[in-house]
Amino acid sequence: MKKGRQGFYTPVHVARLELVRELQAHGFTLAAIEKYVARVPADATPESISLHRTLLAPWTAEQSEPMTRDDLDARAGRVLSDDEIEVLVALEAIRPREDDDHFDVTVAHLDACLALIQFGYPLQAALAARAIMTEHATAIAESLNALFHEQVWPAFRASGAQPSDLLRAVETIKPITTAALVSHYEAAVTRAIGGRIARLTGEETP
């Protein structure tokens, strides 16, 4: 929008630009972004546009920082081999940058992953585990997303909630969903281990 010879952005423009940046951060192509943004109603409020961005924003507060190969070696206390770097990438502790020689490092996971590779954690195992996680996480995300849009979202709207209320509700749902997934995964791992022990020993699972 222009005022005289000067252009300025309204809150709606700012909200739409922030949504575009969030979509770009997730790796969407310009064509995909254009189609997605075009589906946002022309009369959408800044709060309702922000809701789209909130759903796309990271669900956990993981801190990442840039590190060079030398930084990683220093953190490990030794020179890491190329194969070990590949394992760290497969474990998603580090991610190579395209524009420079740095890595984006998930600091909270790095030390644990460095301990794993010290014990010879196989690259193929890391790649296979990532594929399993991606496959099942995608299925869970699609099912929960459908549930949200078919049942939760209509209930929120029917309650007369304002866009700002919906934003807070979504921010509340994120940690609850993440905690529930971790809890169910832990229980499933316990059952799987118990079942394997039962098969090996011939005893019933407690």
Residue 206 has pLDDT above 60, yes or no: no
Q: What is the pLDDT of residue 134?
A: 92
Angle at CA 158, nearest 5°, toward 155 and 161?
95
Q: What is the pLDDT of residue 130?
A: 92
| DSSP-derived 3-state class of residue 180 | helix
pLDDT digits (tens, 9 = 90+) for 139-159: 998 998 899 889 988 888 788
Question: 16 exposed, middle or buried (CB, 10 Å; 0-12, 13-18, 19+)?
Answer: buried
Edge-to-edge strands of the sheet including 94-96? 64-67, 103-106, 94-96
| DSSP-derived 3-state class of residue 57 | coil
Residue 111 has pLDDT above 80, yes or no: yes
Q: What is the pLDDT of residue 203?
A: 64
Q: Mean per-residue pLDDT for 44-58?
A: 74
- Sequence-separated (6 or more) residues with CB below 8 Å from residue 114: 75, 76, 88, 93
Taking the C-alpha atoms of residue 108 and residue 85, their distance in angstroms, rounded to an integer, is 17
Taking the C-alpha atoms of residue 178 and residue 61, their distance in angstroms, rounded to an integer, is 12
pLDDT digits (tens, 9 = 90+) for 58-82: 666 666 788 999 999 999 999 999 9
The pLDDT > 70 percentage for the chain reads 90
Angle at CA 85, nearest 5°, toward 21 and 91?
60
Q: What is the pLDDT of residue 1?
A: 46
Taking the C-alpha atoms of residue 142 and residue 149, their distance in angstroms, rounded to an integer, is 11
What is the average pLDDT score of the chain? 84
Please compute, for residue 3, the number of CA atoms within 13 A of its CA located in the half-sphere on the CB side.
3
pTM: 0.65
| Domain range summary for the chain, segments of one domain joined by + | 1-57, 64-121
